[in-house]
Structures are given as C-alpha cells and as structure tokens.
Structure 1
Amino acid sequence: MNMIDLKERIIVITGGARGIGYAIAERVIQSGGKVAIWDLNENMAKNSASALGSGTVAFGVNVADPVSVKNAAAATEEIFGRIDGLVNSAGITGPVKPAIEYDVSEWKGVVDVCLTGTFNCCRHVVPVMLKRDYGRIVNISSVAGKEGNPNIAAYSAAKAGVLGFTKSLGKELAKTGIAVNAVTPTTAKTPILDGLTAEFIEYMRVRIPRDRFVELGEIASMVVWLLSEENSFTTASTFDLSGGRTTY
C-alpha cells in the first residue's frame, strides 16, 4: 500500500461508521490523519471510532438536518481547532421500484440525505476551511449519477445532483486553497445493498467490464489522495471508479 501524507490532517467523514465511509476512515488513520465520524447511528459511530483508535471522535449527525450539521461542525472545530477535509459519504438508496410508484415522501427522503445532506455539510464546513484558506472536499456520488439506474430514480437523480453541486462549488472556491471533487463508484459490497434485490445487484454487476464489484480499499485509495495536499490543482472534477462501465 502506497502511503499518502495526511499527517495531522483533520478529516470529517459522514456515514463513516461503516461501509465506504469506514474504509476511508481507516485509510486516513493509516496515512497519519485524524477523523471525525458523523453518522446518524451515534452508537455505531462511537463503536467505529473506538475501533479506529486514538485521533478519532464520533458524533450522531443527521446530515439532512442543517441544525444537526451546524452543531457537529462547531463541535468538531472546537475539539480539533480546524477541519482540513470533508468526505460526504452518507447516503441511502431508497425503495427499488418504478419512478411513477414513488411516494413523494420516499423521493424526498433520498434526496434529503444524498443531495441536500451533501449541501448541508459543505455549507457549514467550508466556512471553517476558509479561515485557514485550506481544505479538501470529496463528495461520494455513484455511477448511477452518470448513467441512471432503473427503479432507483431518486438515488440516481440525487447522485447526479451531487456531481452538479460539486462542479459549482469547486468553481466558486477555485481561487481559494479549497479543492472540491467527486468520485463515482460502481457497486461495492456494503450495507447499502441490503435494501436491494439479488436480481438488481446482479443487473449492476454484469455491466461492469472488470466483471466484479469495486473493493472498498480501491475507493479509499482514490479518496485519500484527493484529500491530500498533493491534490493541489484539480477541482470541480469527477473521478471514475466504475471499472470501465463509464468512461467520462
């Protein structure tokens, strides 16, 4: 494993108690950084923080609630004195069914977490970063945000929105020391699959030219580089993790 220097960097990871977020947290710690896990499940977040060891703190945070996010940002800054990086990994797929069968509340629930949650976290973390004119933000989108997957229209739309938001915010901050980028993983074996049918999971796998799902460590490797000082020029961009499914 190549080492990426995140020595003493303070990284907030939403949805960091498990899955992609936890894998990224592990790699950040291995690279010398410190992590604040923001997760809706506070008990799980605390257990994950304990497993990661010293330098890790946990907060119960509902990313869809701007007050919850504001309070977490203030508490994280109070503990560490700054925030150097933000990974917006919290997300839900929502129900698997045709768009015309979605209830408005089901649609709104997915968009509130995946898209508005990303906005809320950036809205309250970027001002902290601007105090030091330094920051790295990585938004976890999805191949679904590029191509759209049938029967998860809310998730696909929200993840496409994350890409548009990333490009806008990255350009707004381009003359500062803050970089904002997104990654678009294909399916990985995480708890988010629990709400999907076996048929739908197989539908996604067979469309990956590498003929396998992406490994969590592969996602973490790319994200941690984007969080590093070495990523000094690229911003407002999308980095593909689709195994060849999408080539743009």
Structure 2
Amino acid sequence: MQVAYEFSRQTAIVTGGARGIGRAIAAAFAASGADVWIWDIEPVELAGAHSVSVDVTKRDEIAKGLALLEGKGVDILVNDAGYLGPYQPFENSEPSGWQQILQVNLMGMLEVTHQVLPLMRRAGTGRIVNMGSLAGKEGLPNLVVYSAASAGVIAFTKALSREVNDTDIRVNCVAPGPIDTRMIRDLGNETVDAMITASPLSRLGDPSEVAALVLWLCSDASAFNTGAVFDMSGGRARY
C-alpha cells in the first residue's frame, strides 16, 4: 500500500543524496511536494530537486549551501552522507582510512547539524533524521570503524533530542541493515550473499523502503517520536 505525505512549502536538505538511500529519500520528498536540496560531492539530476556540491566535512561548503536558500528556513534535515570503507579486519586497516570513515559518517553529520540547528531553533520547529546503521547497534566484524562511527550517530541522536525537547524539533535515527545499494554491492557477491543468508527475510532491503520510514518520521503522524532509533534490517537486529 502506497502512503502519501504532504510536504509542500517545506524545505528539505538531504546529504549524500546523489545515489542509494539518499537519492530515494530525496525523490520521495520531491514527489511529496517538498523543496528538496541535495548536498553531495557528486552532481545529480533529479526532478524537483536542487543539486549542490557540498562536502559535509567542510564548514565553508556547508555555509555556502545554506546561503543558496536565500534566507528560507530548513524544515527537514536528513543526514545521509556516508562512507563504508574497506570490508576487512581492523588489524589490516590504515589510520588514514579510519579518519575518512569518521569524518564523513560522524563529523560530517555534526558539522551540518551544527549549522542547520540554529535555523530550526529560531523557527521553533524542524525534523532531523540521522542515518545510522545496524552496525552501530551490534558492531559488525570487518566494519569495525564504521560500526564505531554509526554508534556515535545513534548516541548523538539521543543526546541532541533531549537538548531540543523544549521545541517542536524532533531528532530521530534510522539504522538500516544491508540495503540494495551500490555501496553494499561493491562489497562483492560473496559478502552480499552472506548478508542475504543472514537475513530472516532472505533479501536485501530496498532504498524506497528506507525512504518511506524517513518520510513518516518527518510527518505530523510521528510528532511524538524523538530520540529514537528505528531499525530497517529485515529482522536482523537483535535488540
């Protein structure tokens, strides 16, 4: 069953929206009437959305992206920019790789939220959805640093939600398991097949399924949810 939402006259920023989950989220918001701004280092053509080259780890690029809104507020922020890193044992990893994973997945989310939150504060309302991962809840072997970064996303979500609970700003997290994206497919057929075997539903998730959850979290139907972590794992999450 297709559920429709109305986001006309609302401005939504989706980081990492050039492909995968982020693109599905941006497309769903655009189809629901939102004024969508995709922030990504990759350009993207998506009907009903603006594409802006923004490296979420660089404060000046974030500020320039916000300046393009020309004084409009930000009603919705989806922090989706992410980097998985190599699938390998931690002892074989390189510190330079750790930094990239932490910078994109954790620090980038902090940088963007730090600049967007004051706009929501002034308006007294807003919706922030941080994309975490099942890895952040359970810890996944061969993705140790990514797991640590995702755990930081979850903790940040819970802490920030309590700081803004005197407003109509809601902060939540979505923690997907393996979703059928290029990022997951790039891990190789053997790894993907193992993920499917480990899934109680025996498949990868679809990006559109994640997008549907994000839109619900940003709708009035979810006004009582904040500081929560919503699994999208096909039953893999154990708690």
Counterpart among 172, 188, 200 of residue 191 in structure 2: 200
- Match for residue 245 of structure 1? 236
Q: If the length of structure 1 is used for normalisation, what is the TM-score?
A: 0.92
**What is the root-mean-square deviation in Å for CA atoms of aligned residues?**
1.4
- Give the 5 Å matches for 1:210-225: 210-225=201-216
Residue 180 (1) aligns with residue 171 (2): yes
Kept in 1: contact 2:185–2:192 (CA 8 A): no
- Cα–Cα, structure 1 residues 154 and 195, in superposed 2: closer, same or farther, change >3 Å? farther
- Match for residue 94 of structure 2? 103
TM-superposed deviation, 1:156: 1.1
- Give the 5 Å matches for 1:112-127: 112-127=103-118
Percent identity over the alignment is 38
Q: Which runs of 5+ in 1 are unaligned?
A: none
- Match for residue 167 of structure 1? 158
Q: If the length of structure 2 is used for normalisation, what is the TM-score?
A: 0.95
TM-superposed deviation, 1:34: 1.4
Residue 52 (1) aligns with residue 47 (2): yes
- Match for residue 229 of structure 1? 220
Residue 87 (1) aligns with residue 78 (2): yes
1:17-40 Cα distance to aligned partner (Å, 9 max, x none): 111111111111121211000001
TM-superposed deviation, 1:194: 4.7
- Structure 1 SS opposite 2:222: coil
- Match for residue 20 of structure 2? 19
CA distance in 2 between counterparts of 1:159 and 1:64 reads 16
Question: What letter matches 1:209 in structure 2?
Answer: P
CA distance in 2 between counterparts of 1:247 and 1:11 reads 32
Q: Indicate the larger mover: 118-127 or 60-69.
A: 60-69
1:3-26 Cα distance to aligned partner (Å, 9 max, x none): 112122110000111111111111
Structure 1 segments, 4+ long, off by >6 Å, are: none
TM-superposed deviation, 1:104: 0.9
CA distance in 2 between counterparts of 1:161 and 1:177 reads 24
Question: What letter matches 1:123 in structure 2?
Answer: H
TM-superposed deviation, 1:204: 1.9
